[in-house]
Amino acid sequence: MTVAQEPRQLPRPSTLQSPLSQSRETGDALPEKRPDGTTVTSKPAPVAKSWAHFVAGGLGGMTSTLLTSPLDVLKTRLQSTFYQDYLAASRAARGIPAPDTLPFARAALLHIRETFQILVAVPRAEGWRALFKGLGPNLVGVVPARAINFYAYGNGKRLYAHYLNNGRESASIHLLSAATAGIITGTATNPIWLVKTRLQLDKSRSEGPEGQGRQYRNALDCVRQTLRTEGIRGLYRGLSASYLGVTESTLQWVLYEQMKLYLATREQRLLSSGRDPTTWDQTVAWTGKLGAAGSAKFVA
């Protein structure tokens, strides 16, 4: 008595066995495996993953704002007339000439020394919390701006590559995605920066020699008065000027992507060579993307 054998399944076409091309930002570089070891050949569109850009951008903006808040306070104080007069009096008391009369190298060293002098004096005289003054308004502006920018850039890159370049990324795709992200971010966050600027100017006027009272009680009152007197267009004053800043963020993204590509190529060459990583290779692996991000921002 013979047992009927199950018909053997024909092998699937090779076209179904190749992994789908995915963006480095929204998908995995290697195909996923099922528990039985077979390759996952079709996956739903990574809609959920696309929101990772939004969350990562917001968290990154919050972290960077927290860490650099003392430097932001320092920058604002160095720009103020009060501290410029204080530094000038301090130089005169020590017999140091004005920086514009010194050679470039000596003037730069003097500026660095005076900068650290203020950075040390602020927490000593006012407490460490003084280094974080204005952190709240900065977070209100920076966190949504970075979240929207990362979301628009990451997903714009995926869509532009899919519809315009057969799923492949390139410098032109990065350029187009960064410009689109900058325009979307500027449009979405312009009311936030306008309200912040008007509140800062309103506070300066109330504390100035004229002694004028404050026009706005808070941010919500500023929005209400702007809408009542200027309409919705009032919240978008200065938008055309903010679009000029898109060039900076676009250049930053393009440079960063090219640096990341160089780092990935370098790592691939190292793996292909089979040699053991040196101390320099390990340093580049750990700090490469951080250095690339900082260098791109500095140049832009």
CA–CA–CA angle 76, 77, 78 (5° rounding): 95
Rounded distance, CA 250 to CA 182, Å? 7
Mind giving me the DSSP string for 233-299? GGGGTTHHHHHHTHHHHHHHHHHHHHHHHHHHHHHHHHHHH-PPP-HHHHHHHHHHHHHHHHHHHHH
Q: Which residues pair with 39 in a beta bridge?
A: 33
Per-residue pLDDT tens listing for the chain (300 residues):
444 454 554 444 444 333 333 444 444 444 555 656 665 555 545 444 678 889 999 999 999 999 999 988 888 888 877 788 888 888 888 888 888 888 889 888 988 888 888 888 888 888 888 888 888 888 988 999 999 999 999 999 999 999 999 989 999 999 999 999 999 999 999 999 898 888 877 766 666 555 567 888 888 999 999 999 999 999 999 899 889 889 999 999 999 999 999 999 999 999 999 888 999 999 998 999 999 999 999 999
Q: What is the pTM of this model?
A: 0.72
